[in-house]
Every structure is written in structure tokens, then in C-alpha cells.
């Protein structure tokens, strides 16, 4: 079966047709660029955490709660985004009620 496929593809390697390697390379480049674009556009909470911890001042209870609340919202937004693209996260949080319940369990 492999030899028949190889012989069939060999028909398209002459100069009368678009080279198969060129088309394959074009497809791989498109697929990789799409994946890389999605990967780089996903907001990670780490950078936001650094900005929040550096700019929201206060060693008292109010400052601590404000920083914590901001990061909880950032984590919530990450979970909401990941639910739409990750089956593992969607299984862990199938509904918004599951997210709310997880947040209640982690509150002091």
C-alpha cells in the first residue's frame, strides 16, 4: 500500500505540477503560525501578578485583599478562556456553578 502511494505521489514531482514538498511546507508553516499566534495571545496571569504586586501598595489588610482580589479575577478569566479550548479544564469545570463552588472552597 505504501509503495502504491509513493508511486502515485511520484507522478506529481515533475515540473508540470506544483511540487508536493512546497505545498506541504506551506501547510506546515500555516499550521505552526496559527498555533504560535494562539499561544502568544493567551494572557498568562504571571505578568499581571508582577504588575499588581509592584503597583498596588500597602502592607495592611486592605492592600493584601485588593491584590488577592485582582489575582482571583485574573485566574477566573484564565479559567474561562481555558474552558473553551482545553478538554481537561472543561471536565474540571463543566459549568459556571463548578467554578463558583471551587472559589468558595478556596476562600478563607
Task: Write out pLDDT tens, residues 52-101.
Answer: 888 888 888 988 899 988 988 888 888 888 888 889 999 999 998 999 88
Q: How far apart are CA 96 and CA 105, in angstroms?
A: 14
Q: How far apart are CA 37 and CA 48, in angstroms?
A: 20
**pLDDT mean over 37-62:** 84
> What local confidence, expressed as pLDDT, does residue 16 receive?
61
Task: Write out pLDDT tens, residues 25-35.
Answer: 889 999 999 98
Q: How far apart are CA 11 and CA 104, in angstroms?
A: 64
Q: Model confidence at 13, in pLDDT bands (50, 70, 90)?
A: low
Given a cut of 60, whether residue 22 has pLDDT beyond it is: yes
Asked if residue 33 lies in contact with residue 68, where contact means CB atoms within 8 angstroms, the answer is no
Q: In 42-86, where does DSSP find H-type helix?
A: 45-55, 61-85
> What local confidence, expressed as pLDDT, does residue 29 receive?
93
Asked if residue 92 lies in contact with residue 98, where contact means CB atoms within 8 angstroms, the answer is yes
pTM summary value: 0.59
**pLDDT mean over 41-48:** 81
Q: What's the alpha-carbon Rg for the chain, to the nearest Å?
A: 25
Amino acid at each position: 500500500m505504501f509503495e502504491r502511494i509513493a508511486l502515485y505521489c511520484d507522478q506529481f514531482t515533475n515540473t508540470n505540477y506544483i511540487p508536493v514538498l512546497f505545498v506541504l511546507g506551506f501547510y506546515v508553516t500555516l499550521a505552526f503560525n496559527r498555533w504560535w499566534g494562539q499561544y502568544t495571545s493567551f494572557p498568562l496571569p504571571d505578568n499581571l501578578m508582577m504588575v499588581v504586586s509592584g503597583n498596588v501598595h500597602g502592607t495592611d489588610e486592605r492592600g493584601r485583599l485588593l491584590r488577592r482580589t485582582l489575582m482571583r479575577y485574573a485566574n477566573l478569566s484564565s479559567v474561562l478562556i481555558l474552558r473553551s479550548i482545553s478538554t481537561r479544564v472543561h471536565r474540571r469545570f463543566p459549568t459556571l456553578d463548578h467554578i463558583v463552588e471551587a472559589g468558595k472552597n478556596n476562600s478563607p
